[in-house]
Amino acid sequence: MFPCKLRSCGGNALRTIARSTITCGVATVANASGSLDASTALNQLFASAFGDLQTYTRAPPDEAYLSRLLAKDHVIVLVALETERVVGGLVAYELEKFERARSEVYIYDLAVSEEYRRRGIATALIGQLRSIATGRGAWVIYVQADYGDAAAIGLYEKLGVREDVMHFDIPVTGAG
């Protein structure tokens, strides 16, 4: 179960939409359709922030898929809300390790709406993720950034330690 915390971030609320979908302090229980709306809004935000409509909006998952996904323990989706509007969010995955009984958390996507940047929202999202990771006994959170993405690099340099690695995509036979 996620820690039930509502964090203040520049007057905005930061809310967990995965699994338990309960927001403390505001007594709102996001039902499946609420989660779907937030997920759709978050994917639209990612599409615009990453300039990638194709990946994030062209083949949206249906409600059944999303409900199943959000119910999984290792899938962590956080959104920053101003009133009901999604103005930032992240998708992260907890990876349980083989060589040792511990886990790591990987931030796959993170973005904040352009007009809401430099208000500490990404920092607050990662702060919330840190609490979740701590609660699960994870020992590290890691994330990749692209060369030239000054905002992401600045953010992660402030919060973590940089490692330069190479990334490879290995095609899967038959994948579209």
Ligand X SMILES: CC(C)(COP(=O)(O)OP(=O)(O)OC[C@H]1O[C@@H](n2cnc3c(N)ncnc32)[C@H](O)[C@@H]1OP(=O)(O)O)[C@@H](O)C(=O)NCCC(=O)NCCS
Which residues are near ligand X by CB under 6 A? 49, 110-112, 117-123, 145, 149-152, 154-155, 158
In the complex, minimum distance from the CB of residue 9 to ligand X, in angstroms, rounded to a whole number = 9
Closest residue by beta carbon to ligand X:
154
In the complex with ligand X, the residue whose CB is nearer, 18 or 107, is 107
Q: End-to-end alpha-carbon separation of the chain, Å?
A: 35
> Angle at CA 66, nearest 5°, toward 128 and 126?
15
DSSP bridge pairs for 110: 90
In the complex, minimum distance from the CB of residue 156 to ligand X, in angstroms, rounded to a whole number = 8
Quote the CA–CA distance of 116 and 64 in Å, as a whole number: 31
**Enclosing H/E stretch for 73:** none
In the complex with ligand X, the residue whose CB is nearer, 133 or 155, is 155
Tokens of 141: 């959170």
In the complex with ligand X, the residue whose CB is nearer, 21 or 80, is 80
54, 44, 147, 43: which is closest to 91 by C-alpha?
43
In the complex, minimum distance from the CB of residue 1 to ligand X, in angstroms, rounded to a whole number = 26
Is residue 142 within 8 A of residue 107, CB to CB? The reply is yes
In the complex with ligand X, the residue whose CB is nearer, 137 or 154, is 154
In the complex with ligand X, the residue whose CB is nearer, 21 or 42, is 42
Tokens of 45: 């935000």
For the chain, what percentages of helix, strand and coil (3-state, to nearest 5) are there? 35, 25, 40
In the complex, minimum distance from the CB of residue 140 to ligand X, in angstroms, rounded to a whole number = 16
In the complex, minimum distance from the CB of residue 72 to ligand X, in angstroms, rounded to a whole number = 22
